[in-house]
């Protein structure tokens, strides 16, 4: 009775109905309509499995066919009835209140009872049974027609695919049973096509379920799945038509028929592959799917993920502005565009994509800019003649080939720029939804561009801050050099004839010139001096620092105590600079005390002592002691290590701050003890260097 191919046809029908029924059942939350919808799908699964086993010659399947047929149609009709009433929980009571509903209920019950009797009597088909099913089918079709005709525009959008899906099933069943009543025989081709029809109708029912959330059916139909399915359906129909055309050409082409068939099939395949690779064709299919299968034109989750991903995809070869333009353009699949940003009182082209760049800038007080700033609207250049924007559009934009949309970039109610987009692929119809999406994307892109601009300005500000900080330190070092040269010039009239003074003078000048050259190099490079640390002998560094004060009014004395070598890891130049700074401070303090005591500077040598000694097994200490003027407890506690705080009238206050910060980077610390009028002791604690393998 059935061909073996029916196994495959009804297997597809069972799988499709089963998958949708499973999704619906998992999302069902007790709604009557949703439950009937799921029950109708499960009855379709049961019916398809029964037909499969009939083809496999299972006796029980053939006997149960009338019951599965009746059950499937009865549940669909009952579901249609639930859509007609206001309270589906009182479905039977509300149907019984109307004469047509009472008649339908009687036919519904009789058809089920008669089907059970046929199963018990092992009767597979009966004219009376077919007549009862035809009555139910007609009642279901009439119910669908009334439901759709009475619905408003919004409700029709939700019911459209439901009517197509269930109506298609019922219409095909009507043809099948009408043919049986007319000819009293089963039409095998109709039965075979029935499996295909029941499979094809499932996607329509799935879309209908996704649109009717009031059934408490929580399923999501991906736009990408519908798009790929549409492409597959178009491909199948095209290839089917191509195959039929090739067969017709071969059948009617005579001796050249086979050659013509091969040529047609080849050329048709090449054309179709080219068509599938066309972005414009795929865009048109995507627009068609969005318009006819979904309530919103865009899959906002997918669009926003792609938008943010493109927005943050800047690299060394791709600027932030180019990323922003591409992210906005891809929302409407626009292949060309321009991004304009504000610079002062003008808007200048920041980047462009497959669109020629105009030479002139746009003034901030132009009509179009003010309209974008005040209204924040997306301007559709094709519709400008119907609106108020026509006189505002600049002449160069009117003449811009392919320009279609102008999108404002608003950040904190300020127009920071705008984007010009070309005609989208696929002929996208711009409406309020497209405009709203572009406006929101424009605000997000403007915020991102503003954040990037602020980050860049902050980086520049930090570079200036670093430069200024470095300049302050260099000024401090120059002050120390000037102090040394000043001491030499002060003592020169008295000591210039002495050979040892002459030698010290030349050494000091040469040393000062070398240090000033290094400072100039640092200033030109706009960076701090090298921080490379090496193993150095702290005693040798102290020796060089003391030697630079040989000609000072109060030359320091170096004392060593402890192991022969006190090795630390440091930058020798910076460590020597720290020690020289402490010795210079000691010089100033001693001279200030002498001035207070004697009224003038004298050559009386009050000792300044620099000690390099062991502090512990892991630390050494460099100690500078002076008998100078000292510091008050308040200054010592709150101002000593603060930048730009100094006890000296011409001091910068940076020396102690820089010294302590550097010593701390080495893992050490600075400790200061001072008594006003008596002197100061500064201790520098440094980690001792331990060679590898020595504990």
388 φ, ψ to 5°?
A: -95, 5
Q: Could you count the other beta carbons within 10 Å of the beta carbon of residue 694?
A: 6
Tell me whether residue 692 is in a domain: no
> Rounded to the nearest 5°, which phi and psi values hold at 560?
-115, 140
Which residue is listed with tokens 């029908």?
A: 13
Between CA 466 and CA 602 the distance in angstroms is 41
Residue 57 gets the label, from left (phi > 0), alpha (psi -120 to 50) or beta, of left
Give the Cα separation of 397 and 220 in Å (integer): 42
What does the pLDDT read at residue 63?
84
Query: 300 in a domain, yes or no?
Result: no
How far is residue 45's CA from residue 21's CA, in Å, rounded to a whole number? Answer: 9
Q: What is the pLDDT of residue 216?
A: 44
Residue 496 shares a structural domain with residue 448: no
pLDDT of residue 683: 93
Q: Is residue 529 part of a domain?
A: no
| Spatial distance between the Cα atoms of 380 and 438, rounded to a whole number of angstroms | 12
375 C-beta neighbours (distance < 10 Å), count:
12
Would you say how long the chain is, in residues? Answer: 695
What is the CB neighbour count within 10 angstroms for residue 628? 24
pLDDT at 604: 43
Domain boundary among 522, 555, 572: 522
CA dist list (Å): 169 to 77, 220, 485, 608: 12, 23, 106, 108
Dihedral of the alpha carbons of 389, 390, 393, 395, in degrees to the nearest 10: 180
Domain boundary among 522, 550, 566: 522
Residue 100 belongs to what domain range? 2-219
How much is the pLDDT for 228?
A: 65
**What is the dihedral sign for C-alpha 267, 271, 272, 274?**
positive
Residues 105 and 133 in one domain: yes
Mean pLDDT by 10 residues, the chain (695 residues): 64 88 79 86 91 81 87 90 77 71 81 85 83 88 85 79 90 88 80 85 86 56 60 67 70 70 75 74 66 61 83 81 90 87 86 82 84 84 58 74 86 90 73 82 91 83 68 67 74 77 76 73 53 82 85 80 76 86 86 73 61 85 90 82 69 76 89 89 90 56
- What does the alpha-carbon distance between residue 354 and residue 620 come to, in Å, rounded to a whole number? 68
390 with 453, same domain: the answer is yes
From the list 117, 146, 145, 149, the residue with the least C-alpha distance to 132 is 117
Q: Supply the pTM of this predicted model.
A: 0.42
Strand partners for 568: 536
Which residue's entry shows tokens 């720029």?
A: 417
- 574 and 683: one domain? yes
CA terminus-to-terminus distance, the chain: 96
- For residues 31 and 60, membership in a common domain is answered with yes
CATH of the domain at 115: 1.20.1070
State the CATH number of the domain containing residue 579.
3.30.565.10
Q: Of 219, 236, 254, which residue constitutes the final position of a domain?
A: 219
- For residue 684, what are the β-bridge partners? 622, 670
* Structure token pair of residue 38: 């799921």
369 falls within a domain: yes
Q: Are residue 166 and residue 280 in the same domain, yes or no?
A: no
Q: Judge if 167 and 208 occupy the same domain.
A: yes
**Based on the structure, what is the number of domains in the chain?**
5
Give yes or no: residues 132 and 18 share one domain. yes
Same-domain status, 562 and 638 = yes
Residue 443 near residue 410 (C-beta atoms within 8 A): yes
Q: In whole angstroms, what is the distance from residue 205 CA to residue 478 CA?
A: 85
Is residue 177 domain-shared with residue 51, that is, in the same domain?
yes
Q: What's the pLDDT at 214?
A: 59
C-alpha 29/C-alpha 38 separation (Å) is 12
Is 694 within a domain? no
Residue 279 maps to a domain: yes
| CA gap 213, 295 in Å, rounded | 13
pLDDT confidence of residue 527: 47
> Residue 663 domain-assigned?
yes
**Same structural domain, 263 and 341:** no
Residue labelled with tokens 């050659």: 259
In a domain, residue 572? The reply is yes
Rg of the Cα atoms in the chain: 46
8 Å CB contact between 527 and 470? yes
Q: Are residues 215 and 115 in the same domain?
A: yes
């Amino acid at each position: 009775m059935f061909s073996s191919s029916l196994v495959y046809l009804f297997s597809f029908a069972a799988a499709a109905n089963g998958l949708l029924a499973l999704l619906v059942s998992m999302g069902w939350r007790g709604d009557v309509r949703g439950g009937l919808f799921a029950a109708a799908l499960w009855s379709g699964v049961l019916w398809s499995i029964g037909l499969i086993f009939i083809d496999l010659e299972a006796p029980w399947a053939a006997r149960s066919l009338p019951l599965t047929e009746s059950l499937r149609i009865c549940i669909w009709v009952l579901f249609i009835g639930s859509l007609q009433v206001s309270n589906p929980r009182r479905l039977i009571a509300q149907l019984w209140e109307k004469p047509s509903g009472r008649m339908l209920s009687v036919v519904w019950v009789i058809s089920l009872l008669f089907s059970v009797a046929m199963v018990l009597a092992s009767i597979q088909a009966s004219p009376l049974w077919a007549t009862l099913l035809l009555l139910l089918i007609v009642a279901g079709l009439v119910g669908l027609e009334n439901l759709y005709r009475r619905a408003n525009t919004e409700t029709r959008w939700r019911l459209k695919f439901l009517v197509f899906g269930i109506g298609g099933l019922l219409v095909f069943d009507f043809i099948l049973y009408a043919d049986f009543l007319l000819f009293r025989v089963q039409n095998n081709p109709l039965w075979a096509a029935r499996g295909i029809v029941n499979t094809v109708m499932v996607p329509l029912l799935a879309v209908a379920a996704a649109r009717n959330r009031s059934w408490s059916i929580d399923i999501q139909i991906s736009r990408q799945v519908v798009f790929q399915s549409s492409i597959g359906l178009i491909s199948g129909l095209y290839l089917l038509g191509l195959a039929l055309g090739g067969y017709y050409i071969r059948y009617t082409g005579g001796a050249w028929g086979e050659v013509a068939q091969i040529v047609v099939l080849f050329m048709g395949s090449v054309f179709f592959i080219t068509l599938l690779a066309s972005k414009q064709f795929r865009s048109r299919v995507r627009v068609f799917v969005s318009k006819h299968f979904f309530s919103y034109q865009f899959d906002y989750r997918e669009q926003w993920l792609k938008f943010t991903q493109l927005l943050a995809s800047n690299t060394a070869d791709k600027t932030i502005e180019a990323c922003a333009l591409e992210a906005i353009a891809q929302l409407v699949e626009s292949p060309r565009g321009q991004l304009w940003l504000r610079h002062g009182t003008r808007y200048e082209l920041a980047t462009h994509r497959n669109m020629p760049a105009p030479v002139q800038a746009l003034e901030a007080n132009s009509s179009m800019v003010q309209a974008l700033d005040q209204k924040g609207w997306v301007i559709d250049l094709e519709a400008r003649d119907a609106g108020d924007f026509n006189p505002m559009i600049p002449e160069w934009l009117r003449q811009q080939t392919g320009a279609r949309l102008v999108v404002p970039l608003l950040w904190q109610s300020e127009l920071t720029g705008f984007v010009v987009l070309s005609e989208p692929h696929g002929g996208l119809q711009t409406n309020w939804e497209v405009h709203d999406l572009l406006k929101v994307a424009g605000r997000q892109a403007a915020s991102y561009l503003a954040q990037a601009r602020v980050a860049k300005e902050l980086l520049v500000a930090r570079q200036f801050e670093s430069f200024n900080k470095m300049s302050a330190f260099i000024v401090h070092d120059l002050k120390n050099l000037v102090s040394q040269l000043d001491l030499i010039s002060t003592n020169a009239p008295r000591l210039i004839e002495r050979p040892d003074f002459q030698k010290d003078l030349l050494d000091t000048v040469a040393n000062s010139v070398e240090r000033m050259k290094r400072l100039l190099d640092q200033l030109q490079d706009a960076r701090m001096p090298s921080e490379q640390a090496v193993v150095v002998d702290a005693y040798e560094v102290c020796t060089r620092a003391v030697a630079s004060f040989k000609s000072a009014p109060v030359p320091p004395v170096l004392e060593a105590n402890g192991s022969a070598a006190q090795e630390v890891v440091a930058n020798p130049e910076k460590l020597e600079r720290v020690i020289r700074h402490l010795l210079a401070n000691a010089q100033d303090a001693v001279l200030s005390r002498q001035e207070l005591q004697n009224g003038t500077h004298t050559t009386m040598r009050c000792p300044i002592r620099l000690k390099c000694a062991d502090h512990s097994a892991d630390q050494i200490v460099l100690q500078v002691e002076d008998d100078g003027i000292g510091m008050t407890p308040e200054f010592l506690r709150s101002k000593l290590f603060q930048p730009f705080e100094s006890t000296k009238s011409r001091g910068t206050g940076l020396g102690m701050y820089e010294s302590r910060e550097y010593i701390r980077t080495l893992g050490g610390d600075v400790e200061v003890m001072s008594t006003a009028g008596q002197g100061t002791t500064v201790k520098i604690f440094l980690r001792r260097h331990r060679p590898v393998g020595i504990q």
